[in-house]
Chain A
């Protein structure tokens, strides 16, 4: 059974249509990569799934429930579908450890000890256990993004959304963050990734979707999409890969 079904999603900002009739499924353990030019609606699509934006039309069915319906506890949904941002968005007023603990305490109501143990486990997983007491301002970009990933993992999310997680990083740090994502993929974490790292996307994605001006141009298993690209996708690849 699909863990996430997106049906005919549409969204406009000030009359300008950003997403039109976007539909796709996500199975448990799958990794969907969304590709597209800037402004093609990739990020908006992710933000709709995380309910940071409210779509104008369509359905998002998460574990059998339409999360766009009335009487949905949005905070609960967000705690099950986590987002990792391009700009990290670590809480500047908290240490790395507290960044990982706060939502566990306040949303999942875990005990302090348990939250701390889980936080340290996940910081260990991203290789930053020794930075637990540091503040975000003293970390490098790659380290910040790994902490952000650990912070999300602490919530045991059903789905992890990555919104261009490496776009603000220099090449060396891109490698370290990609390494962490590849590891999560091996562990079977369900994820949706928006990225401009084509080569990495090819490696990690089980499914690829190409958005062109807010419309799904092609969607399918990664090797098929790349093996037999549509004209627009071919053009996109030519530009992106230089």
Chain B
């Protein structure tokens, strides 16, 4: 048996599984990245809380607690592998009597484990996005805040209308990077039975004994996915460097 034949055999016999796996990987990476970004914004805001001596003691105490929780969450998630997090999540849920197997078991990809996987990858991405948004926020010129406050805008109005849009715009390349990382790293979620691309290849390989061929096929699919994603990000980058968004001409012209 040679490799070429094996690949052909797998593609004709298991194309549906690979396609479903691909769908799973895409859903995981896209949902994880975007929901993670959304939650990451709040994580960053929590880490940025500044308890002031002028605050009433209960407000100040609350700020310290929230800030501490956000810092702790970020350290915990970024300091442990997602594969381990997934397993702890799975067995933690089971210990509490929640078996994801019993939720939506009738569908191929979008079964209970996919939902568990979505939760894990989102919670994981949130920690990283928190850092991305935080550095974006810190990168916005302090004058922007002073300009807004001096006109009478409140701290919240200033944040949501002036500071955050600029922080997110500056963070777009890093946010894109997180997406590419998620495309590849979602493969570890197979440990809890999420039907993504690696999971599909693993099953196909075990049924057909064409191990090498199965993994070469998904390596190729991952590569195409990340290359395409890079291309999309480049196009977005070019568009941002142009005049269309916020009127910036280019990074160099701005400097």
Contact = CB atoms under 8 A, between A and B. Distances in A.
Interface residues of B, number: 25
Contacts of A80: 152
A75 B249 CA distance: 34
B150 A106 contact: no
B75 to A, nearest CB: 31
Given A75-B152, A82-B151, A83-B146, 5 more contacts: A50-B150, A83-B150, A95-B247, A137-B246, A137-B253
B150 A92 contact: no
Contact of A89 (B143, B153, B157, B243): B143
Interface centre among A77, A92, A103 (most CB of B within 10 A): A92
Interface string B142-172: 0110111111111001000110011001000
B254 interface: yes
Contact of A91 (B144, B152, B254): B144
Interface of A: 50, 52, 75-80, 82-83, 85, 87-95, 102-103, 106-107, 134-138, 148, 151-152, 155
Given A134-B247, A136-B247, A137-B247, A103 B144 contact: no
B152 A93 contact: no
Nearest to B157: A106
B73 to A, nearest CB: 29
Interface centre among B147, B148, B243 (most CB of A within 10 A): B147
19 contacts: A75-B153, A79-B151, A79-B152, A82-B151, A83-B146, A85-B147, A89-B147, A91-B161, A92-B166, A92-B248, A93-B162, A103-B153, A107-B153, A136-B247, A137-B246, A137-B247, A137-B249, A137-B254, A155-B152
Nearest to A81: B150
A138 B253 CA distance: 10
A7 to B, nearest CB: 22
B152 A78 contact: yes
A78 B141 CA distance: 20
Given A79-B151, A138-B249, A89 B254 contact: no
A52 B150 contact: yes
Interface centre among A89, A93, A155 (most CB of B within 10 A): A93
B150 A75 contact: no
Interface centre among B141, B149, B166, B243 (most CB of A within 10 A): B149
Contacts of A151: 151
B17 to A, nearest CB: 46
A91 B158 CA distance: 10
A94 B162 CA distance: 8
Nearest to B147: A89
Contacts of A77: 152
A155 B248 CA distance: 27
Contact of B246 (A52, A85, A92, A106): A92
A62 B21 CA distance: 67
Contact of A90 (B147, B157, B249): B147
A112 B200 CA distance: 55
Nearest to A73: B152
Interface centre among B149, B151, B152 (most CB of A within 10 A): B151
A75 B247 contact: no
Given A103-B153, A155-B152, A137 B248 contact: yes
Contacts of B169: 93
B24 to A, nearest CB: 36
A52 B247 contact: no
Contacts of A75: 149, 152-154
A235 B138 CA distance: 42
Which 4 pairs, one residue from A and one from B, show the smallest C-beta to C-beta distance? A135-B247, A79-B152, A89-B147, A103-B151
Nearest to A154: B151
A102 B153 CA distance: 9
Contacts of B249: 137-138
Given A135-B248, A137-B254, A91 B150 contact: no
Interface centre among A89, A94, A137, A148 (most CB of B within 10 A): A89
A152 B246 contact: no
A135 B246 contact: yes
A52 B143 CA distance: 11
A85 B165 contact: no
A80 B248 CA distance: 32
B152 A92 contact: no
A103 B153 CA distance: 6
B153 to A, nearest CB: 6
Contacts of A79: 151-152
B162 A91 contact: yes
A89 B146 contact: yes
